[in-house]
Chain A
Amino acid sequence: MIVAETKPLDEIWRSIAPYSRVLILGCGTCMTVCGAGGEREVSFLADALRMSQARGGEHDHSLLEYTVKRQCDAEFLETFVDRSREVDAILSLGCGVGVQVVADRFPDLPVLPGNNTYFMGASSEWGVWDERCAACGDCRLADTAGVCPITRCTKGILNGPCAGAKNGKCEANKEADCAWILIYQRLERLGQLDKMRRYYPPRNFRVIPRPRRIVNKTQVSTGGNDGQVSV
């Protein structure tokens, strides 16, 4: 799940300052799940912004609210094209992906982010989210018994641990377990400690260099070649 949090109210208030009619756009997928931009958040934010206005805010806005199923696929955005014509700006409560897809679709409207997108993660219990994946493109969870050293070790090293752990907790965050001690314990339990004894060479930090793209369409040749397909 992509995990984000809504930006502080005053920051959002300042960012919509130049626009008199704003559409607050929610997202019904990841942002709903992590509570940062679903339908409920959209109406809560709208209420709070209206209150800000009522309490003598210097600027005046009319706010529309709408939530789409997903912002990251442009087809979903067609459902509110008419509404987009009534506003001067869109405040998107989607993740960073959503904001940009919306901006691509409506190049004549300023599209403002209402959320700060943090990471891809999972929730271990209600209301608690932990980063789990850095999208490194070179997954080595088989070697670390399912504990990612890149997201869960603050230094992201592959030949761990460092010497900074105290009481099994990371030197940078005393509430986080040292990932490498976890990896050790898991591998020991699986009887696979030899995986930890191996030397891991330096990571490829540019598996796909930025700006990253994946094309998983297969190429099909047309005509010629007696109809044979070269893929």
Chain B
Amino acid sequence: MQAEAPVGRSSSYDHSLVPPCQSACPLHMEIREYIDLISQGRIMEALHVIRDGNPFPSICAHVCTHPCEDACRRSQVDKPVAIRALKRFAVEFGGDRMIELEANTTHAERVAIVGSGPAGLAAAYYLRKLGYPTTIFEANPELGGMLRVGIPQYRLPRSVLDAEVQRLIQIGVEIRSNTRVASLDLLFEMGYKAVFVTVGAHQSLRMGIEGEESPGVVDGATFLREVNLGLRPSVGNRVAVVGGGNVAIDAAHTALRLGAQEVKVLYRRGRAEMPADGSEIEQALEEGVEILFLVAPSRIKRVDGCLQVICTRFELGEADGSGRRRPVPIENSDFELDFDTLVSAIGQAPQIPQDFRLRIGKGSTIQIDPVTLLTDRPGVFAGGDAVTGPATVTQALAAGRQAAVRIDEYLQHRYPALPKETRAALTTPLLPRTIELVRRVNRLDPPVLPAQDRTGGFAPVELIYDWKTAIDEARRCLRCGAGAEILFQDKCATCLNCLRVCPYEVPQLDASGTLQIPADQCLACGVCVAECPAKAIMLRKPYDRRQVTEELEHALRSALQTSSKPLLVGFCCQYGLFGTGSLAGLWKAASASIWIVPVLCVAKVEEEHLLRAFEMGAEGVFIAGCGAQCARENTGQWVARRIEKVRRALATLGIESERLQALPTDGEEASTVQAVQEFADRVGRLCLTAALKREVRK
């Protein structure tokens, strides 16, 4: 399913490494590929890659905890690439286009899914695509599980969730909401051949302190569910939230929006140990939430409608089973705080009905075979929070996707196939020298609502990128593992050109005097590929390898078939503002017929390409790169050098050197278009002069 190359790329060998972002993603998304497409302005193609691996990209785009960003090697240089926000940009850009809303029923076996959280929704989507009649059973009136009742609306707008659910309905998944499944036997009696149990973890853990049952004390999951279901519980002015995870922070945010003046979060460990998402914590602090670290309540007393909470101070001791240091209460450190409401959000556990007769293990989770996802009952699969305990949305989606594959294998009596990744994973960090040489570019975060505007309501806090900012942010990607390699060591004369021209000093001579280009350090600028005198260096990804030559041939073939106007060929960088859309207007230029050959950085344009353009009849050739904005280093000097060499050859052939130019661009569209126009005019005049000379000679 996922690990195959998406549409448009051939099956020739792919020697690239699996980048750390992809390895970290529970869905194993081709992140490097879609970020690269966004940086070229090819958003719809990026969206295609995203949808290929992720059934609900719009949901992830809002709430994914982005393990990819945590693994992103750009953070070794400055800040990680804003992958989640870029994915959201692509998803919002594409809207409803390109979504395949058809699924045929090709199997007779029916599958039941118990629970409509992300795992259940994903499983339903893939099973339906595989052709199975699928039914989702959901106890709540609306679908989504934690997406609906756990995550607040300012993080995941309901419209997004509803749209995804709607699509499931459109592809033919049967929805039975308001239906609590009491026993799995009943499902089998109803004719379902396989069942996927994915009921989530909604049961809040108890604090275990005196006064926990008092009115005014509510558990986090219940609190959020009530709010998300449309109720507006009154929380008073002073609210305490106990806990340090995302539920606690969500509760704190929510309390503010319900009108609390003072919200304090009590967490028994320190900031470093707090599991909530960093940016969520920042936003909470901005909105005025106060976090008390190393504090936890030990007793609650309700007096005259107010909660008197006795708090104890803690210090960190030895590490416990989770690897975090255990909080140890400090003697005689008690103090009192008063609140109107206390929300206890110290964790959740699944609550599996006994009648399911499934084997339950530690933390009340369902026990499964890790490969087949089967429980100890035949035909019953499980996944999501019900199996792992509270985890992330993306992990649940991955579980649902895998469950669909396993259920399919089970029903078709196939041996469970283990997915084979033919490429090695990139696991090493960047070398200090490489880091030094990469140009620092500040991370461009998407705009957010100002803090004071947020607490008024539940509108989404994070806004969307504009086109230019998105592309600029996507260009920061280092393209880990997709670089160049000395493919033909027998052709390599060890001339050391690649070692000398590399802007990042990546190629290395090993102990036996053989040149290697370490796959984990190369940043794929393409300079060495074009400079190697033996043509021994190739880019690892098949698309990159063929790209310039094929695009050039295509442009030349098309050009020759059309206009009678003088032909100008322009090699234009696809990154930045030279995305396919921006320069399309040039095609309509009156004085010449301009064909753009899009290249992924002008450093990859070789001398032969330039010569070939002239050979095939171009009257003028120009190169337009990103200039000072080029995300790779020093590409301008290589372009200049190659142009000089080709000009000398052209001079011998009687072709004026002005016909080949690198256009000075500052990355702005308007000035580039103008530069191209001027170039076209100049070439036009040269053509006229040449024509006149021919006439005179006759």
Residues of A within 8 A of B (CB): 8-10, 13, 28-30, 32-35, 38-41, 43-44, 47-48, 50-52, 54-55, 67, 69, 125-126
- The reply to whether A32 and B615 contact each other, CB–CB distance below 8 Å, is no
Give me 9 A-to-B residue pairs in the complex whose CB atoms sit less than 8 angstroms apart, sorted by A's number: A8-B652, A9-B652, A32-B533, A32-B534, A38-B535, A39-B534, A40-B608, A44-B611, A51-B615
Give the distance to chain A from B691, nearest Cβ to Cβ, in Å: 14
Query: Which residues of chain A come closer than 8 Å to B494, judged between CB atoms?
Result: 33
A-contact 0/1 string along B487-501, CB 8 Å cutoff: 000110111110011
The 8 closest A-B CB pairs, nearest first, are A33-B495, A38-B533, A9-B652, A126-B500, A32-B493, A47-B611, A32-B533, A48-B649
Give the distance to chain B from A51, nearest Cβ to Cβ, in Å: 5
Distance between Cα atoms of A52 and B655 in the complex (Å) = 10
Which residue of chain B has its CB nearest to the CB of A32?
B493
Question: Told that A44-B607, A47-B608, A55-B654 touch, could you supply 13 new A-B pairs with CB distance under 8 A?
Answer: A8-B652, A9-B652, A32-B495, A32-B533, A35-B497, A38-B534, A39-B534, A40-B533, A41-B533, A44-B611, A50-B615, A67-B491, A67-B534
Distance between Cα atoms of A35 and B490 in the complex (Å) = 17
Give the distance to chain B from A46, nearest Cβ to Cβ, in Å: 9
Give the distance to chain B from A39, nearest Cβ to Cβ, in Å: 5
Q: Count contacts on B: residues with CB < 8 A to the other chain.
A: 25
Query: Which residues of chain A come closer than 8 Å to B491, judged between CB atoms?
Result: 28, 39, 67
B352-393 residues at the A interface, CB under 8 angstroms: none
Answer yes or no: B653 CB below 8 A from chain A CBs: yes
A-contact 0/1 string along B472-511, CB 8 Å cutoff: 0000000000000000001101111100110000000000
Answer yes or no: B614 CB below 8 A from chain A CBs: yes
- Known: A10-B652, A47-B608. Contact between A40 and B615, CB under 8 A? no
Distance between Cα atoms of A10 and B648 in the complex (Å) = 11
Which residue of chain A has its CB nearest to the CB of B491?
A28
Give the distance to chain A from B250, nearest Cβ to Cβ, in Å: 57
Query: Which residues of chain A come closer than 8 Å to B495, judged between CB atoms?
Result: 32-35
Distance between Cα atoms of A38 and B535 in the complex (Å) = 8
- Known: A9-B653, A10-B652. Contact between A51 and B611, CB under 8 A? yes
A-contact 0/1 string along B564-606, CB 8 Å cutoff: 0000000000000000000000000000000000000000001
Answer yes or no: B201 CB below 8 A from chain A CBs: no
Query: Which residues of chain A come closer than 8 Å to B493, judged between CB atoms?
Result: 28-30, 32-33, 38
Q: Chain B's interface: helix, strand, loop or mixed, by majority?
A: loop
Candidates A39, A47, A50, A54; contact of B533 at CB < 8 Å? A39
- The reply to whether A47 and B535 contact each other, CB–CB distance below 8 Å, is no
Query: Which residues of chain A come closer than 8 Å to B532, judged between CB atoms?
Result: 40
Answer yes or no: B440 CB below 8 A from chain A CBs: no
- The reply to whether A126 and B653 contact each other, CB–CB distance below 8 Å, is no
Query: Which residues of chain A come closer than 8 Å to B490, judged between CB atoms?
Result: 69
- The reply to whether B534 and A126 contact each other, CB–CB distance below 8 Å, is no
Answer yes or no: B546 CB below 8 A from chain A CBs: no
- Known: A47-B608, A48-B649, A52-B653. Contact between A35 and B615, CB under 8 A? no
Give the distance to chain A from B208, nearest Cβ to Cβ, in Å: 71
Query: Which residues of chain A come closer than 8 Å to B614, judged between CB atoms?
Result: 51
Residues of B within 8 A of A (CB): 490-491, 493-497, 500-501, 532-535, 606-608, 611-612, 614-615, 649, 652-655
Distance between Cα atoms of A51 and B534 in the complex (Å) = 22
Query: Which residues of chain B come closer than 8 Å to A50, judged between CB atoms?
Result: 615
Distance between Cα atoms of A29 and B494 in the complex (Å) = 9
- The reply to whether B611 and A33 contact each other, CB–CB distance below 8 Å, is no
Query: Which residues of chain A come closer than 8 Å to B611, judged between CB atoms?
Result: 44, 47-48, 51
- Known: A39-B491, A51-B615, A52-B653. Contact between A44 and B608, CB under 8 A? yes
Query: Which residues of chain B come closer than 8 Å to A55, judged between CB atoms?
Result: 653-655
Give the distance to chain A from B584, nearest Cβ to Cβ, in Å: 29
Give the distance to chain A from B341, nearest Cβ to Cβ, in Å: 70
Distance between Cα atoms of A50 and B649 in the complex (Å) = 12
Distance between Cα atoms of A13 and B654 in the complex (Å) = 14
Distance between Cα atoms of A173 and B314 in the complex (Å) = 80
Distance between Cα atoms of A175 and B122 in the complex (Å) = 72
Query: Which residues of chain B come closer than 8 Å to A44, judged between CB atoms?
Result: 607-608, 611, 649
Query: Which residues of chain A come closer than 8 Å to B652, judged between CB atoms?
Result: 8-10, 13, 48, 52
Distance between Cα atoms of A158 and B124 in the complex (Å) = 89
- The reply to whether B653 and A47 contact each other, CB–CB distance below 8 Å, is no
Which residue of chain A has its CB nearest to the CB of B532?
A40
Distance between Cα atoms of A99 and B495 in the complex (Å) = 21
Which residue of chain B has its CB nearest to the CB of A52?
B653
Which residue of chain A has its CB nearest to the CB of B530?
A40
- The reply to whether A43 and B608 contact each other, CB–CB distance below 8 Å, is yes
Which residue of chain B has its CB nearest to the CB of A35?
B533
Which residue of chain A has its CB nearest to the CB of B615?
A51
- Known: A9-B652, A32-B493. Contact between A126 and B533, CB under 8 A? no
Distance between Cα atoms of A8 and B651 in the complex (Å) = 11
- The reply to whether A47 and B615 contact each other, CB–CB distance below 8 Å, is yes
Give the distance to chain A from B210, nearest Cβ to Cβ, in Å: 77
Query: Which residues of chain A come closer than 8 Å to B496, judged between CB atoms?
Result: 33
Distance between Cα atoms of A41 and B501 in the complex (Å) = 18
Distance between Cα atoms of A52 and B614 in the complex (Å) = 11
- Known: A32-B495, A47-B608, A50-B615. Contact between A40 and B535, CB under 8 A? yes
Give the distance to chain A from B687, nearest Cβ to Cβ, in Å: 14
Give the distance to chain A from B430, nearest Cβ to Cβ, in Å: 24
Candidates A28, A29, A43, A48; contact of B653 at CB < 8 Å? A48
Query: Which residues of chain B come closer than 8 Å to A38, judged between CB atoms?
Result: 493, 533-535
Give the distance to chain A from B643, nearest Cβ to Cβ, in Å: 14
Candidates A30, A39, A54; contact of B615 at CB < 8 Å? A54
Distance between Cα atoms of A171 and B500 in the complex (Å) = 32
Query: Which residues of chain A come closer than 8 Å to B501, judged between CB atoms?
Result: 126
- The reply to whether A126 and B497 contact each other, CB–CB distance below 8 Å, is yes
Distance between Cα atoms of A44 and B532 in the complex (Å) = 13
Query: Which residues of chain B come closer than 8 Å to A32, judged between CB atoms?
Result: 493, 495, 533-534
Distance between Cα atoms of A40 and B606 in the complex (Å) = 10
Distance between Cα atoms of A32 and B614 in the complex (Å) = 25
Distance between Cα atoms of A67 and B536 in the complex (Å) = 12
- The reply to whether B534 and A28 contact each other, CB–CB distance below 8 Å, is yes
Which of A30, A39, A48 has its CB near the most chain B CB atoms (within 10 A)? Answer: A48
Query: Which residues of chain B come closer than 8 Å to A33, judged between CB atoms?
Result: 493-496, 533
Query: Which residues of chain B come closer than 8 Å to A69, judged between CB atoms?
Result: 490
Which residue of chain B has its CB nearest to the CB of A36?
B533
Give the distance to chain A from B549, nearest Cβ to Cβ, in Å: 12
Distance between Cα atoms of A67 and B652 in the complex (Å) = 25
Distance between Cα atoms of A43 and B535 in the complex (Å) = 10
Query: Which residues of chain B come closer than 8 Å to A48, judged between CB atoms?
Result: 611, 649, 652-653
Distance between Cα atoms of A67 and B535 in the complex (Å) = 11
Give the distance to chain A from B509, nearest Cβ to Cβ, in Å: 14
Give the distance to chain B from A134, nearest Cβ to Cβ, in Å: 23
Which residue of chain A has its CB nearest to the CB of B648?
A9
Which of A13, A39, A55, A67 has its CB near the most chain B CB atoms (within 10 A)? Answer: A39
Which of A8, A29, A38, A67 has its CB near the most chain B CB atoms (within 10 A)? Answer: A38
Query: Which residues of chain A come closer than 8 Å to B607, judged between CB atoms?
Result: 40, 44
Give the distance to chain A from B515, nearest Cβ to Cβ, in Å: 12
Query: Which residues of chain A come closer than 8 Å to B615, judged between CB atoms?
Result: 47, 50-51, 54
- The reply to whether A40 and B653 contact each other, CB–CB distance below 8 Å, is no
Give the distance to chain B from A64, nearest Cβ to Cβ, in Å: 17
Which of B491, B496, B649 has its CB near the most chain A CB atoms (within 10 A)? Answer: B649
- The reply to whether B533 and A51 contact each other, CB–CB distance below 8 Å, is no
Give the distance to chain A from B30, nearest Cβ to Cβ, in Å: 32
Distance between Cα atoms of A28 and B533 in the complex (Å) = 9
Give the distance to chain A from B693, nearest Cβ to Cβ, in Å: 13
Which residue of chain B has its CB nearest to the CB of A47?
B611
Distance between Cα atoms of A114 and B405 in the complex (Å) = 62
Give the distance to chain B from A50, nearest Cβ to Cβ, in Å: 6
- The reply to whether A51 and B653 contact each other, CB–CB distance below 8 Å, is yes
